Structure formats: structure tokens, C-alpha cells
Homo-oligomer: A and B are copies of this chain.
Amino acid sequence: MAQIPILILAAAATACIIASTPFTAGGADSEGSPIFGVKIPPGYRDWRLISVAHEEGNLNDLRAILGNDVAIEASREGRLPYPDGTIIARLAWSYDPLEESSKAFGRLQSFVAGPPKNGVQFMVKDSGKYASTGGWGFAQFNDGKPADEAAHNTCFPCHATVKARDFVFNRYAP
């Protein structure tokens, strides 16, 4: 049974889902994630867009998948496996109706990103360092602080459901 919300696929009621107050970017000095030691990559909010998603259920968010240059090139070309150096970031925000839109149309029409929600997550490809987890290191940060070890233990088993896509759920949105 898949249980981890790391990058798009998400369980509605697992240890990995930690309701968080709005995320504040951590930066290079952030603490590393348990198990994997992944830190918040500086400048990730400026990375280019891979794709977007909406999670229903308890997560109830709008999310964006960003990638560093290595990730963008690989995902754009659909190249698998992702090369070492790939970093994929998952940002998420509250799923909020747009008031102006509802007023204009007399019904719910537009949902937009509100405050940050459900933390920020990263996948880092290092086929040597993370050989036991498909070459990927995982991290979730809530308010700039890493989630606990139990949460990080759930990442890889869930991503294993998309082993055929090198453990990555998202696809590049052209």
C-alpha cells in the first residue's frame, strides 16, 4: 500500500502528511532530512517549471513541480533514468476559490494558489549515495525544518510504484 505524498502522489492520512504553517525558505544552511541528509537547495523557487497538479482529499492543495537545470533537460526530453545531479522540487499551496471569479460568474470557477501548504519536498538523484532507494534521496521540509524519520521512511516505498519511470510520478508539461 503506497503511503507517501512525496511529489504528486499522496496519501490522505499518513505519517508523511504534516499540516504546516506557511513555509519559509530555508536555504543552504537548512538542516538535512533524516535518512537522506538532503538540504533545501538554495534558489529552488527560481527553478523552471516541470508540471502542475491538484491533490484532493486531506491534502487539498495546488502544487508545482520545479526542476534544476539537469532535471528540466532530462524531463523535457523524457530521458530515463534521470542523471545524477537531478533535483526535483514539489511546492504546494492552499487550494483557494478566487473570489473575483466567483463573483463574476455566480459560481465557483477558478481555484488559485493561496498560502503555502503541506511543506516543500525534494528528490535528489545520486545513484551512488542513494543506491538502496533507487538512486534518489528524499526530503520534506515544513516551515524550513525537515519532517521526521518516520515520514521519510515512507517516501521510497510509494515512489517504487513508478519504478518504470525512475521513481518519478510527474511528467514534463509542454
Contacts and interface: CB of A to CB of B under 8 A. Distances in A.
Main secondary structure of the interface of A (DSSP, over half): mixed
A79 interface: no
Contacts of A107: 57
A104 B1 contact: yes
Interface residues of A, number: 52
Contacts of A8: 98, 101, 110, 112
Count copies of this chain in the complex: 2
A170 interface: yes
Interface in A23-68: 23, 45-49, 51-57, 59, 62-64, 66
A124 B93 CA distance: 27
A12 interface: yes
Nearest to A50: B113
A59 B2 CA distance: 32
A47 B53 CA distance: 18
B52 A9 contact: no
Contacts of A63: 52
Contacts of A105: 2, 11-12
B52 A52 contact: yes
Q: When A and B form their complex, which 7 residue pairs have the shortest distance between CB atoms, in order from nearest?
A: A2-B104, A113-B173, A54-B111, A53-B112, A52-B52, A9-B101, A51-B113
